[in-house]
Amino acid sequence: MNNQLNIIGALAMDLKRVSLSSYNGSGNVANRFWEEAIKRKSEIETSKVPVYIGNLLEDLKNKKDFEKLLMYSTLLQNYSQKELNRI
């Protein structure tokens, strides 16, 4: 589970970078971090995370909606930090 939380935390940072890069007009940077985010998403075992986290992961399809990506990055970061503090 600890490895899954680290992956979720890394995904949160990648999504934040996509969001901020898109907002600032850096399309190449946003595309690179989007590729990383998709790779990290595929590493997460959805059966080991709560349903609402699985639903967030399923909804990650559009990198153009940078406000939603920023919100998701915050939610994922909060989840991973909360769970890491329990361990």
Number of domains in the chain: 1
Distance of CA 19 to the CA centre of its chain: 11
So what's the pLDDT on residue 1?
67
End-to-end C-alpha distance for the chain, whole angstroms: 10
Q: How far apart are CA 54 and CA 25, in angstroms?
A: 29
So what's the pLDDT on residue 86?
84
* pLDDT 10s digits, 35-81: 999 999 999 999 999 999 999 999 998 778 889 999 999 999 999 99
Residue 36 belongs to domain spanning: 2-86
Instruction: Please state the rounded mean pLDDT for residues 23-29.
Output: 93
φ and ψ at residue 12, rounded to 5 degrees: -60, -45
How deeply is 24 buried, as exposed, middle or buried, from its count of CB atoms within 10 A (0-12, 13-18, 19+)?
A: exposed
CA dihedral (16, 8, 83, 21) in degrees, to 10, reads 0
